[in-house]
A and B are shown apart, each in its own frame.
Chain A
Amino acid sequence: GEDVEQSLFLSVREGDSSVINCTYTDSSSTYLYWYKQEPGAGLQLLTYIFSNMDMKQDQRLTVLLNKKDKHLSLRIADTQTGDSAIYFCAVYSGYSTLTFGKGTMLLVSP
């Protein structure tokens, strides 16, 4: 089945850019999503990209997709302390199923 890998931890300074990376195994994946989870909360959909796109920009968020390498990244510009959270990459695996990575904990220090 589909496998999604993410680095576990990223630490940045406020005002810097953050880049969170994700790799997946199923090249036929059509939709790829980024979710944010704050402590004690559910998942917040940040953005998503269709597999025929290379890039998608949404305010401070930029998603890059390299289909050849099956690599997805989320760039957060001008990172703020409020961006500290766990970020999940999710891949649509067919039959209404999302396969999630283990999540990347982003810590933003002042």
Chain B
Amino acid sequence: KAGVTQTPRYLIKTRGQQVTLSCSPISGHRSVSWYQQTPGQGLQFLFEYFSETQRNKGNFPGRFSGRQFSNSRSEMNVSTLELGDSALYLCASSQGQTYGYTFGSGTRLTVV
């Protein structure tokens, strides 16, 4: 059974640009969550999607957005990149909290 796949693994972007990250969940998992991991703030929840609907959103500015497609694949977009957006972005898929959340390897975003 394939795991959670995140692409690309690494990205380097310039301040002011925008970026789109992709996440393919485990087959059959309809919930996809996104987290930002930084050395200073640790792991912080961005948002969660279930059946193409955003069910919950963390405390991040509107520059951070996401969507989920009918096949459960999800994308997150960050517009007008800032240096502080440099982080590891992790995606997790789940069948529900009873089964745990499986994370992908992440996308390492560097903003210069």
Contacts and interface: CB of A to CB of B under 8 A. Distances in A.
Interface in A59-110: 88, 90, 92, 95-103
A48 B50 CA distance: 22
Give chain B's interface secondary structure class: strand
Contacts of B100: 31, 33, 45, 48
Interface residues of A, number: 23
A34 to B, nearest CB: 10
A45 B45 contact: no
Contacts of A7: none
A98 B45 contact: yes
13 contacts: A33-B101, A42-B6, A48-B100, A96-B48, A96-B56, A97-B48, A97-B56, A97-B58, A98-B45, A98-B92, A99-B45, A102-B42, A103-B42
Interface of A: 30-31, 33, 35, 41-45, 48, 50, 88, 90, 92, 95-103
Interface of B: 4, 6, 31, 33, 35, 42-43, 45, 48, 50, 55-56, 58, 90, 92, 94, 97-98, 100-106
